[in-house]
Amino acid sequence: MAITSRDFRSLRLDRIGRDFGQTHALRDVTLTVERGEFIALLGPSGCGKSTALNCIAGLLQLTDGTIWLDDRRIDAIAPEDRGFGMVFQNYALFPHMTVRRNIGFGLVTQRRPTAEITRRVDEALALVRLTEHADKLPGQLSGGQQQRVAIARAVVVGPPLVLMDEPLSNLDAKLRLEMRAEVRRIHAMLGCSTIYVTHDQEEALSLADRILVLIDGQTRQIGTPEELYARPATPEVAEFMGYRNLFRSRAETADGGVVIVVAGARLTGTPVQTVGAQAVVAIRPEDLRPTGDGPIVATVELAEYHGRDFYAEGRSADGTDLFFRSPVRVRPGEQVHLDAAPARVLVYPEAGK
Ligand code: ATP
């Protein structure tokens, strides 16, 4: 494969920050991205993800910190001299140019010889599987195909790093799944590093080697998808990672775990950090299941059929709302007995929230 990224070992963000007036959009973010790594920047709307990506690209200046490509400091260098590939949510294609000319644009501005441009554009077209569509205009392509043109245009110049800002959010659910696999395949074939901004935890879990969770402009956790899914560092990260059941509880240390009280029932949980007398408990809906003799008694309020199982909401006698999944049909008004495995009941110190 002739499209290869320039050699580099790592990109290092060293305590980077960016203010907009009184707003601290990004604060004290430190991250080392190794060559070949796929990093997701994950966080809710307004948490600073795009600000971080634009600072790395050079479209925004830093207010604090430094950025390094190996031992070269690059945060004062113009975006075009950093040479990173950018893919945006809205594709940003030139509507009056064919697919071929859109993809070759960066090479033309670099004044590459015509034969080289033709060869590299052909390779990029093949990479994103659009060879047959080379002479069409963007308006004649589907959303997924247009996004593949945008990806080809970003990678054709052989960037060491590709930056993607919510590239799949304009696509419908089915196409998003297909393009997710495409993004991962293209990343693997190029051997470049990718930083991918998303607010979708499933997208981050499925694509990334490591995920950085950004909340209020600050790093809340960096870890592998498995670590983030199974062991969110704080209740706030847990909530963002789909732990919908979050409760305050008193806690007692016991053999093999911590005993907490959820909706009036005693449950054994696993402490994520040292827990005192007051705790926050986090359980995913898929880990809270109806069983014949589960300790938490709740009345079903809502049940939706989701194909493989039912998603349901219930309320206990003390008024606690519970979100759970059931492999068998449950109906509103029905009483259920819920339980969760101790390993899947995460217990945090209350101050950790
Ligand atoms: P989204 O997922 O909604 O795109 P985000 O996580 O990418 O959000 P940013 O766009 O990075 O968030 O914005 C972070 C914070 O900085 C927000 O509070 C936003 O209002 C603020 N902000 C971003 N750009 C500017 C700007 N040019 N001027 C002033 N404030 C800004």
Which CATH number goes with the domain that contains 256? 2.40.50.140
For ligand 1, whether the C-beta of 90 sits within 6 Å is no
Rounded to whole angstroms, the Cα distance separating 133 from 165 reads 25
Pocket perturbation via mutation, ligand 1, pick of 29, 49, 201, 203 by most ligand atoms within 8 A of CB: 49
> What is residue 4's predicted lDDT score, i.e. its pLDDT?
43
Question: What's the 86 CA to ligand 1 centre distance in angstroms?
Answer: 18
For ligand 1, whether the C-beta of 50 sits within 6 Å is yes
Atom of ligand 1 at shortest distance to CA of 51? 11
User: What total of structural domains would you count in the chain?
Assistant: 2
Which residue among 186, 205, 235 closes a domain?
A: 235
For ligand 1, whether the C-beta of 51 sits within 6 Å is yes
In a domain, 220, yes or no: yes
DSSP states of 304-340 as a string? EE-SSSEEEEEEETT--EEEEEESS---TT-EEEEE-
Rounded to whole angstroms, the Cα distance separating 208 from 165 reads 14
Edge-to-edge order in the sheet of strand 10-20:
23-34, 10-20, 64-69, 72-73
Pocket perturbation via mutation, ligand 1, pick of 16, 18, 20 by most ligand atoms within 8 A of CB: 20
Reported as a single tens digit per residue, the pLDDT across 242-255 is 999 999 999 998 77
Residues 231 and 248 in one domain: no
Closest by CA position to 193, among listed 59, 56, 81, 63: 56
Residues with Cβ within 8 Å of residue 53, at least 6 apart in sequence: 41, 163, 165, 195, 197
Which residue among 235, 253, 270 closes a domain?
A: 235
For ligand 1, whether the C-beta of 17 sits within 6 Å is no
Reported as a single tens digit per residue, the pLDDT across 283-295 is 999 999 999 899 9
Closest by CA position to 2, among listed 126, 123, 113: 123
CA nearest ligand 1 atom 18, residue: 46
In a domain, 315, yes or no: yes
CATH number for position 230? 3.40.50.300
Residue-number span of the structural domain to which 109 is assigned: 10-235
CA dihedral 351, 202, 338, 304 (to 10 degrees): 130
In a domain, 4, yes or no: no
Which residue among 235, 265, 298 closes a domain?
A: 235
Question: What's the 60 CA to ligand 1 centre distance in angstroms?
Answer: 12
Residues 164 and 263 in one domain: no
In a domain, 2, yes or no: no
Q: Residue 350 class from Cβ within 10 Å (0-12 exposed, 13-18 middle, 19+ buried)? A: middle
CA nearest ligand 1 atom 2, residue: 45
Residues 123 and 230 in one domain: yes
Residues 288 and 224 in one domain: no
Tokens representing residue 276 in the block? 């005192």
Residues 183 and 227 in one domain: yes
Residues 216 and 265 in one domain: no
Residues 210 and 67 in one domain: yes
> What is residue 6's predicted lDDT score, i.e. its pLDDT?
61
Closest by CA position to 282, among listed 314, 234, 320: 234
CA nearest ligand 1 atom 14, residue: 48
Residues 62 and 116 in one domain: yes
Reported as a single tens digit per residue, the pLDDT across 324-348 is 999 999 999 999 999 999 999 999 9
10 Å Cβ neighbour count for 142? Answer: 12
Q: What is the pTM of this model?
A: 0.88
Half-sphere exposure of 14 (CA within 13 A, CB side): 14
For ligand 1, whether the C-beta of 47 sits within 6 Å is yes
For ligand 1, whether the C-beta of 46 sits within 6 Å is yes
In a domain, 3, yes or no: no
In a domain, 146, yes or no: yes
Residues 209 and 273 in one domain: no
Binned at pLDDT 50, 70 and 90, residue 352 comes out as very low
Binned at pLDDT 50, 70 and 90, residue 1 comes out as very low
Asked if pLDDT for residue 302 goes beyond 50, the answer is yes
Residues 107 and 191 in one domain: yes
Residues 291 and 204 in one domain: no
In a domain, 41, yes or no: yes
In a domain, 5, yes or no: no
Rounded to whole angstroms, the Cα distance separating 103 from 10 reads 27
Residues 227 and 259 in one domain: no
DSSP states of 188-221 as a string? HHHT-EEEEEES-HHHHHHH-SEEEEEETTEEEE
Which one is predicted more confidently, 7 or 164? 164
CA nearest ligand 1 atom 29, residue: 20
Asked if pLDDT for residue 256 goes beyond 80, the answer is no
For ligand 1, whether the C-beta of 79 sits within 6 Å is no
